Amino acid sequence: MPEDLMVGQELVDVADTEVEFQGRPLTMQIGRPRWHAVGDGELTALCGTAQRRLLPIGQPWMSAFPDNVDRCRACEEWIGQ
């Protein structure tokens, strides 16, 4: 596994949700997180997903994740996991 890989979080299955905030209607985008592998200082995940869609969360990429973490299969294949 390459060293210095970090997690870039992407929101997938995004849908607009209407909420009320301070008495005014507000549209929020709700989704669920998927983790990509991003090289340290890189602008793109290993699978090609652009960083502007990814949120760095300060989590190093691990060789194993809990089952409930949705990892990008393309990034895992690139790493060889």
Residues contributing to the site for Zn ion (CB under 5 A): 36, 45, 47, 72, 74-75
Residue 30 or 50: which CB sits closer to Zn ion?
A: 50
Minimum CB–partner distance for residue 47 and Zn ion (Å): 3
Minimum CB–partner distance for residue 19 and Zn ion (Å): 30
Amino acid (1-letter code) at residue 54: L
Residue 19 or 50: which CB sits closer to Zn ion?
A: 50
Residue 36 or 61: which CB sits closer to Zn ion?
A: 36
- The two tokens of residue 77 are 């294949």
**Residues sharing a CB contact under 8 Å with residue 32, sequence separation 6 or more, in sequence order:** 11, 12, 13, 70
Distance CA 6, CA 37 (A): 6
Minimum CB–partner distance for residue 44 and Zn ion (Å): 9
Distance CA 24, CA 41 (A): 39
